[in-house]
Amino acid sequence: MEFQHTACLGGGVIGASWAALFLASGRSVAMFDPDPAVETKVRSYIETAWPTMTQLGLTDHGSPDAISFHSSAVKAVEGAGFVQENVPERIQIKHETFAAIEPALMREAIVASSASGLTLSQMQPGWRDPSRFVLGHPFNPPHLIPLVEVVGNDQTAGGVVEAAQQFYESIGKTTIRLHKEVPGHVANRLQAAIWREAVHLVISGVASVEDVDKAVWSGPGLRWAAMGPTMLFNLGAGEGGLRAFCDHFSDTFNGWWDDLGQVYLTEDVTQRLASGVEAEARGMSPAELSQKRDALIVALQKSVADLR
One digit per residue, the tens of pLDDT, for the chain of length 308 reads 679 999 999 999 999 999 999 999 999 999 999 999 999 999 999 999 999 999 999 999 999 999 999 999 999 999 999 999 999 999 999 999 999 999 999 999 999 999 999 999 999 999 999 999 999 999 999 999 999 999 999 999 999 999 999 999 999 999 999 999 999 999 999 999 999 999 999 999 999 999 999 999 999 999 999 999 999 999 998 999 999 999 999 999 999 999 999 999 999 999 999 999 999 999 999 999 988 999 999 999 888 888 87
In terms of residue numbers, what domain contains 261? Answer: 187-304
Q: Specify whether the CB–CB gap between 66 and 23 falls below 8 A.
A: yes
Same domain (yes/no): 224, 169: no
Same domain (yes/no): 93, 224: no
Same domain (yes/no): 56, 163: yes
Report the distance separating Cα 62 and Cα 2, nearest Å.
14
Same domain (yes/no): 145, 212: no
β-bridge mates for residue 177, sequence order: 150
Same domain (yes/no): 85, 106: yes
Q: What is the pLDDT of residue 1?
A: 61
Q: What is the pLDDT of residue 252?
A: 96
Q: Please say which residue of 131, 148, 178 terminates a domain.
A: 178
Q: Specify whether the CB–CB gap between 94 and 70 falls below 8 A.
A: no
Burial class (CB in 10 A: 0-12, 13-18, 19+), 307: exposed
Same domain (yes/no): 57, 112: yes
Q: What is the pLDDT of residue 304?
A: 87
SS (H, E, C) the chain: CCCCEEEEECCCHHHHHHHHHHHHCCCEEEEECCCCCHHHHHHHHHHHHHHHHHHCCCCCCCCCCCEEEECCHHHHHCCCCEEEECCCCCHHHHHHHHHHHHHHCCCCCEEEECCCCCCHHHHHHHCCCCCCEEEEEECCCCCCCCEEEEECCCCCCCCHHHHHHHHHHHCCCEEEEECCCCCCCCHHHHHHHHHHHHHHHHHCCCCCHHHHHHHHHCCHHHHHCCCCHHHHHHHHCHHHHHHHHHHHHHHHHHHHHHHCCCCCCCHHHHHHHHHHHHHHHCCCCHHHHHHHHHHHHHHHHHHHCCCC
Q: What is the pLDDT of residue 7?
A: 98
Q: What is the pLDDT of residue 306?
A: 84
Find the CATH number of the domain harbouring 153. Answer: 3.40.50.720
Give me the count of residues in the chain: 308
Same domain (yes/no): 300, 207: yes
pTM (two decimals): 0.91
Instruction: Provide the number of structural domains found in the chain.
Output: 2
Same domain (yes/no): 62, 116: yes
Same domain (yes/no): 145, 202: no
Report the distance separating Cα 108 and Cα 101, nearest Å.
14
Q: Please say which residue of 125, 160, 178 terminates a domain.
A: 178
Cα-based distances in Å from 4 to 33, 48, 96, 109, 122? 21, 23, 26, 11, 29
Same domain (yes/no): 79, 226: no
Same domain (yes/no): 134, 212: no
Q: What is the pLDDT of residue 268?
A: 96
CA dihedral for 97, 101, 105, 108, sign (positive or negative): positive
Find the CATH number of the domain harbouring 197. Answer: 1.10.1040.10
Same domain (yes/no): 210, 286: yes
Q: Please say which residue of 178, 199, 221 terminates a domain.
A: 178
